[in-house]
A and B are shown apart, each in its own frame.
Chain A
Amino acid sequence: MNNNIVYALYDDDDILLNSVKKMKEKNLNVKEVYTPFPVHGLDKVLELKETRMAITAFIYGCVGLIFGSVLIYYIMISGEYKSWPMNIGGKPNFTFFKNLPSFVPVLFELTVMFAGHLMALTYFYRCKLFPGSQETSPDPRTTDDKFLVEIEHENFKEVEKFLKTTGAIEIKKKDDK
């Protein structure tokens, strides 16, 4: 099946975007696009689903808030000191609610810490990014100034002819490296 992959290389983001649009109109199977920087509008053209990273951050933030509340409730209100709340500087802790103002800073920080770190980990996990990963794009120039489109095709000649009209500067099959 690898024989059916063709790479088209572009050197401009606007040309790339237009070409991908045309490919989609021609119902070509665009497998992947590698770009050196985020090309705005590309995700729409490729019909990628909206990412849910922000939603995960919200959930993780809620987890952090709950974790912080439970932690502080256990340490300052209940826990070992159930019948004897800590009395520090003449300011005893009787109820969580009454002491809430002085707990807010830590609750806030824990919310941010959980949301930030866990979202980052989710991002690494979902993109399979980790130290030691050997993955690179098919052409090293795509981190510099070139844009590469990976297309699955049935008839190479036909696709090549079409890609030339879209402004691709290089077209090659996956094999001939």
Chain B
Amino acid sequence: MHKESRIRDPLIDGNKTFHDITVEVAYPVEGKANKYWWILFGLSVILMLWGFGCIAYTIGTGIGVWGLNKTVNWAWDITNFVWWIGIGHAGTLISAVLLLFRQKWRMAINRSAEAMTIFGVIQAGLFPLIHMGRPWLAYWVFPIPNQYGSLWVNFNSPLLWDVFAISTYLTVSTVFWYIGLIPDFAMIRDRVNEKINPLKKKLYSLLSFGWSGRAKHWQRFEEVSLVLAGLATPLVFSVHSIVSMDFATSVIPGWHTTIFPPYFVLGALFSGFAMVETLLIIVRKVVSMEAYITIKHIEYMNVIILFTGSMVGIAYITELFMAWYSGVEFEQYAFLNRATGPYWWAYASMMTCNVVIPQLYWIYKIRTNIIATFILSIFVNIGMWFERFVIIVTSLHRDFLPSSWTMFSPTFVDIGIFLGTIGFFFVLFLMYARTFPVVAQAEMKTILKSSGSEFKKIENE
């Protein structure tokens, strides 16, 4: 019953037992943080506080402290919003889509990838909130009965679709993540000695919801996971499609294209996997998960990056072709301006980082090299940020009326808030890595006998 084709590479290295998995997954939670963790955490907290300061300054003074102007009325904030939302997509792809496809390699990385999703979406959500100027009125985006007339939200607007898409995405992902976490919290709960650490025992008892691992509960657990995966799969595609419609339903040249939904979804997966790699290459080292997050896992992710990166490249070229083929001179100029105008350097960075550099993954040695993967993943992160910047700013800064053409440059507040969200994201992720089981240990135990390297060796003999 634990057979697996011998040509498949093992997913768990070393001679592990069920108990080893428990011990190694619980280790970062039970042990003390090392020096590197504290350095990283300290830096992230400083960045986060700087960002919060900039947010306070924005709210106190007004959106005027940003670099926006009458022509470029959407720039840095929405770029960051789309970037963070996109990063979130890889987590749901790994935990939901790969579950439907029964990909066993997802089990080692789904917990952290999904944590990244949730933390990324939290950062994304900050931007529209701040851009409202009066964030205490944020509840106005929901259709709540009111005394203003009655004044309702507009269900024809893609911005409202975004509200529904992102709140559904954030909450359903969190529930999906948490249901998987319950058995693992129970594992930690049962390892904590009540006499030595009563508070920890109490905390993990609360978090584990009284999980006991009954056969009927596991049966329901598996069905619930499967159904949630089935729900999350169309959800994740809908979210970035709807984000793309914020642009695609407008009449701005460079935005008004039907290719946007698939193009954005693939771009999101592309950037998300890059961020998963950036994080996991650090995490597997810091909390010693090399046996579970193996080179094979990294190679699989690199293959996905290569595929989605090439698809994104096709989308870029299709856009250029359609601009020429449409015969609309505004559309043609928008793209000519993107590639050769004053923001040519942003376009060039985007093309280099997203289309050219990931092609290196065709080389086996590069896609199985950890340092190369780490560097390339940073390139993709940067490239995907530039993609959003290019789409948003270059389409706006030279619009239909040449007299209002202008340039956008960020102020220190724009940059500060962005750096602040990166800090906030890492603060959340680092705290997660010390208190949560970073690998879905219950699921890993189910594949130990079929995909563990020692078990496979015995099987093959």
A binds B: yes
In this assembly, does A39 line the interface, its C-beta being within 8 Å of a C-beta of chain B? yes
* Chain A residues, Cβ within 8 Å of B220: 51, 53, 123, 126-127
Known: A48-B219, A103-B155, A105-B238. A116 touches B186 (CB 8 A): no
B294 contacts partner chain A, Cβ-Cβ < 8 Å: no
On chain A, the residues within 8 Å of B224 by CB distance are 53, 119-120, 123
Q: Tell me if A106 is interfacial: C-beta within 8 Å of chain B.
A: yes
How many positions in chain A have a CB within 8 Å of any CB in the partner chain? Answer: 67
Contact call B154/A35, Cβ cutoff below 8 A:
no
A37 touches B445 (CB 8 A): yes
The segment from A69-77, A151-159, A160-168, A169-177 that touches chain B is A69-77
Return chain B residues, CB-CB under 8 Å to A23: none
Contact across chains for B213 and A143 when beta carbons are under 8 A apart: yes
Q: Cβ of A26: which chain B residues have Cβ within 8 Å of it?
A: none
Chain B interface residue bracket vs A = 35 or more
Picked from A37, A91, A113, the residue with its CB within 8 Å of the CB of B443 is A37
Known: A38-B221, A112-B168. A136 touches B18 (CB 8 A): no
Q: How far is the CA of A124 from the CA of B232 in the complex (A)?
A: 19
**Which residues of B are found within 8 Å of A51, using beta-carbon distances?**
216, 219-220, 223
- Chain B residues within 8 Å of A6, by CB: none
A32 touches B210 (CB 8 A): no
A127 CB → nearest B CB, Å: 5
Question: A112–B96 Cα gap in the complex (Å)?
Answer: 14
* B-side contacts of A141, CB under 8 Å: 190
Take A14-B1, A112-B231 as given contacts and tell me if A32 and B160 are in contact as well, using a CB distance cutoff of 8 Å.
no
Contact of B156 among A54, A88, A135, A143 (CB under 8 A): A88
Give which listed residue, B156, B175, B217, B234, contacts A127 with CB less than 8 A.
Answer: B217
Residue contacts A-B, CB under 8 angstroms, 25 given: A33-B214, A33-B215, A36-B22, A36-B187, A43-B215, A53-B224, A75-B152, A76-B152, A99-B156, A103-B155, A105-B158, A106-B164, A112-B235, A112-B238, A115-B231, A116-B172, A116-B176, A120-B175, A129-B209, A129-B217, A136-B189, A143-B189, A143-B190, A143-B211, A145-B445
Given A38-B219, A54-B226, A112-B168, 9 other A-B contacts at CB below 8 A? A36-B18, A36-B213, A75-B143, A88-B154, A106-B160, A109-B164, A113-B167, A129-B217, A143-B187
Closest 5 CB pairs of A and B: A133-B210, A145-B18, A140-B190, A129-B209, A135-B210
